């Protein structure tokens, strides 16, 4: 079964790598790489093989079929860079029938109240702070997810996302994008396997620039005035495996390992080449009676060059707690988005409710 599972996903890896090497640059729609749900963030994103709730619409839509609730709602709020950037997420999922599931998700990542000082000086040259205006730079993602059990292999689940991207930079520019994700999960003996292909066909963002608002500044700085452009988000593949261990009748531990592969050339990750770059991540979730959870994750291993041209490795540790009260789960994550010498930590809270 495992062999058939990986033979099934192999064409996606090949197609993604060929497409990436001939198309677009790195780092597009990076707000979609942050992650959702405090549980997943505390485990460094190790959710592809184990996710089983409404957040599966983001991590792996195939996991929607593992939800125990008829209706499920998940919400999250996080703030990054000392509260400058705000990240909000909400998702709802429900079964269609005994073999299929449906979910909808909304993500907003934004910096609000950015000062616009273009009109700081009056016509007579006097400084007037009342002329300062404010705008927002916001990224939105709308995901519609579908998952279905397949009779081909016992325990095989597949799913996909249709996603719409809308990005706004005040009145200066905006973009609309469209893309597809596909995923699968397989339970074999006591092991869980998962694969997720983001932007499997490439996600195209069509940017429209309002040149009237920026023509003066761009002319003064000798910059090319943009008009219309297309930005492509290249495919990314995530392969994960996990296993749950029952340590005692009241205690258990879930171990998970993910490999995030990009095909757009070398990145500053643990394993890199011109063909693909692979970033591994490890996650642990210990539970007491499936009610109280302690989580840990580590990933984002990078090589950093010091001032004396020597290099050293950094990594990103994450921690978290969770509490389940009947059908309501409250999760918390402490995530490190900087290195260990000048850490910048973020507190993430999420709430999940199931209703039957």
The per-residue b/e assignment along 88-114, b for 16 or more CB within 10 angstroms, e otherwise, is: ebbbbbbbeeeeebbbebebebbeeee
Residue 310 φ then ψ, to 5°? -80, 160
pLDDT at 332: 95
Looking at residue 234, its pLDDT comes to 86
Rounded Cα–Cα distance for residues 265 and 99 (Å)? 39
- Which pLDDT tens digit goes with each residue over 158-200? 999 999 999 988 888 888 999 999 999 999 888 999 999 999 9
Domains identified in the chain and CATH numbers: 2-355 (2.40.160.40)
β-pairing, 311-325 with 100-116? unpaired
pLDDT at res. 2: 41
The answer to whether the CB of 177 falls within 8 A of the CB of 167 is: yes
In angstroms and rounded to an integer, the radius of gyration of the C-alpha atoms of the chain is 22
pTM confidence score: 0.83
At residue 191, the pLDDT reads 93
Tell me the DSSP string of 241-267: EEEEEE-SSSEEEEEEEEEEEE-SS--
Tokens of 340: 């260990």
Residue ranges of alpha helices (H) inside 181-312 are: 215-220
Compute mean pLDDT per 10 residues along the chain, 356 residues long, and list them: 42 42 62 91 93 94 91 92 87 93 95 80 76 86 94 86 91 88 92 94 83 64 67 90 92 94 82 85 94 93 79 86 92 73 73 88
DSSP secondary structure, 125-149, as one string = S-B-GGG-EEEEEEEEEEEEEEEEE
């Amino acid at each position: 079964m495992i062999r058939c599972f990986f033979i099934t996903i192999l064409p996606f890896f090949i197609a993604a790598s060929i497409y990436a090497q001939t198309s677009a640059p790195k780092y597009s729609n990076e707000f979609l790489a942050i992650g959702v749900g405090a549980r997943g963030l505390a485990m460094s994103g190790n959710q592809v093989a184990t996710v089983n709730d409404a957040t599966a619409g983001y991590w792996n839509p195939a996991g929607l079929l593992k939800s125990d609730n008829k209706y499920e709602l998940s919400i999250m709020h996080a703030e990054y860079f000392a509260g400058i950037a705000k990240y909000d997420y909400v998702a709802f999922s429900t079964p269609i029938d005994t073999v299929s599931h449906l979910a909808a998700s909304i993500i907003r990542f934004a910096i609000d109240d950015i000062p616009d000082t273009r009109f700081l000086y009056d016509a007579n040259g006097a400084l007037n702070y009342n002329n300062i205006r404010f705008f927002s730079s916001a990224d939105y993602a709308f995901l519609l997810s579908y998952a279905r059990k397949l009779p081909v292999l016992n325990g095989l689940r597949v799913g996909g996302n249709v996603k719409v991207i809308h990005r706004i930079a005040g009145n200066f520019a905006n973009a609309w994008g469209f893309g597809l994700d596909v995923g699968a999960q397989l339970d074999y003996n006591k092991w869980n396997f998962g694969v997720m292909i983001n932007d499997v066909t490439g996600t195209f963002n069509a940017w429209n620039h309002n040149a009237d608002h920026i023509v003066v500044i761009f002319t003064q700085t000798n910059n090319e005035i943009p008009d219309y452009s297309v930005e492509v988000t290249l495919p990314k593949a995530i392969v994960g495996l996990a296993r749950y261990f029952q340590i005692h009748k009241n205690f258990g531990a879930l171990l998970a390992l993910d490999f995030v592969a990009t095909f757009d050339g070398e990145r500053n990750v643990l394993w890199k080449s011109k063909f693909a770059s692979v970033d591994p991540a490890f996650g642990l979730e210990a539970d007491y009676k499936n009610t109280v959870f302690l989580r840990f994750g580590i990933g984002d291993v990078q090589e950093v060059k010091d001032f004396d041209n020597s290099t050293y490795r950094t990594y990103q540790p994450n921690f978290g707690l969770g509490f389940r009260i009947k059908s309501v789960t409250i999760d918390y994550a402490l995530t490190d988005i900087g290195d260990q010498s000048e850490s910048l930590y973020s507190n993430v809270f999420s709430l999940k409710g199931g209703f039957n």
